Amino acid sequence: MNRADANVEPNAPPRALHNRTPSAEALSRALASLDQSGPAADAAEGDFERRRFWTPVLLFLATCLSTFYVGAMAWQPFAASQAQILREVIGNWEQGATYMAAVLAILLTHEMGHFLQTVRYGIHASYPIFIPVPINPIGTFGAVIGMDGLRANRPQMFDIGIAGPLAGLVVALPVLYVGILRLEPAPAQGSLIFHNSLLAEWMITSLNPKFAAHSPDFSVGIEELNPYFMAGWVGLLITSLNMMPISQLDGGHVIYTLFGRRAHVIGRIFLVGAILAMAAFDTYRWALMLVLVVLIGADHPPTSNDRVALGPLRWLLGLASLVIPILCFPALGLSQQ
């Protein structure tokens, strides 16, 4: 018995005991302090948004520059003299601007698909954070959005996860369509070969049989690229990578909301299968991606309420979305000639 209990007299009125029990009003105040509302919370949230506004904006502008640069350099942003860089950028500025606009339209639409769903459900999320990489042929590593995922329930997490890839594909496929129509066979001069996904191969066969006859394996040399095809290729790549059924990738969100904790087993099977496939084909192009997934954590955390039903429409859409990596992933990626 502690000191407070010892000081209560047997015949004393219940006032002392009542004071030690939280009232409804006190509980309301305590809960309000935990809720992100009220003047103090609003001020803190305002500081949060102010701290994170300029970083996404500056990174987006940097990604505009990096994608413009690699496009103007004909996707060969490798070591070159300053005079050569200046000459290429000035001479190919239109190609650079076209690639920049096309690829960022795909990426921004993808990320806004996620972001607008978080706004719809009142889930706190950051603005899209783009990753500029001016030293690779793509010019970017895509973009990410940070969110308070523990506040989303099962159907909300499904909607947030699936919205980005579907929105991105709505833009990526027409861009790729235009790019395939503009593919022209050219003598091999460059050192990089872009291998295609199943979906891109089917589109090349039906839309540009002349190029398909020129390239039996449907690969595209770097000298044959045009900004629309390259942007569409990047769009399919990033969409398929995000839809891998593991961790907190978009596909990880979807498969967890479909199968719950059984998704952890599916994710591990996928991880082992990916490692075995790389070993079998003696290619380790995607090893860094797998390492990052393992470091982040292969398992998806629970939602705020895993018991809420998805409904038949979400189930059908979720199951159908599982074919996106199969159709859109260019397994061989890039290779040197």
Question: How many domains does the chain fold into?
Answer: 1
Look at residues 261, 236, 265 and name the one whose alpha carbon lies nearest to residue 325: 236
Please state, as a whole number, how many other Cβ atoms lie within 10 Å of the Cβ of residue 124: 15
Residue 102 in domain: yes
Higher pLDDT, 37 or 71: 71
| Helix ranges restricted to H, the chain | 3-6, 15-19, 24-34, 38-72, 82-91, 93-121, 154-181, 198-207, 209-214, 227-242, 250-259, 262-280, 287-296, 312-321, 324-328
What average pLDDT does this structure show over 50-60? 82
CB 252 within 8 A of CB 204: no
Per-residue pLDDT tens over the stretch 99-155: 999 999 999 999 999 999 999 999 999 999 999 999 889 999 999 998 887 899 999
Mean pLDDT (the chain) is: 83
Does some domain include residue 261?
yes
Q: How far is CA 41 from CA 46, 47, 52, in A?
A: 8, 10, 16
What is the spatial distance between Cα 314 and Cα 50, in angstroms, rounded to a whole number?
Answer: 36
Higher pLDDT, 282 or 64: 64
pLDDT of residue 206: 95
- Specify if 226 maps to a domain: yes
Q: Which of 201, 267, 237 is nearest to 329 (CA)?
A: 237
Could you tell me whether strands 140-144 and 334-336 are parallel, antiparallel, or unpaired per DSSP bridges? unpaired
Residue range of the domain that includes 300: 52-336
Token code pair at residue 246: 């593991």
99-103, 104-108, 276-280, 301-305: least confident range: 276-280
What band does 46 get if pLDDT is binned at 50, 70 and 90? Answer: very low
84 pLDDT band (50/70/90 cuts)?
Answer: confident
Residue 202 corresponds to which amino acid? W
The H-or-E segment that residue 196 falls in is none
**Residue 273 phi, psi (nearest 5):** -60, -40
Q: How far apart are the C-alpha atoms of 82 and 157, rounded to whole Å?
A: 48
6, part of any domain: no
Q: How far apart are CA 78 and CA 65, in angstroms?
A: 16
Least-confidence region, from 90-104, 197-211, 224-238, 262-276: 262-276
- Residue pair 108/164 in contact (Cβ under 8 Å)? The answer is no
Q: What are phi and psi of 248, to 5 degrees?
A: -105, 25
Greater confidence (67 vs 32) lies with 67
- Residues 146-173 have a mean pLDDT of 94
Distance between CA 91 and CA 97 in Å, rounded? 12
**pLDDT greater than 70 at residue 22:** no
Please indicate, yes or no, if residue 8 is contained in any of the structural domains: no
Most confident region among 4-13, 32-41, 326-335 by mean pLDDT: 326-335
In a domain, 1, yes or no: no
Residue 16 lies in a domain: no
CB 141 within 8 A of CB 193: no
Q: Is residue 203 part of a domain?
A: yes
Residues 6+ apart with CB under 8 A from 225: 74, 75, 194
Does the pTM surpass 0.85? The reply is no
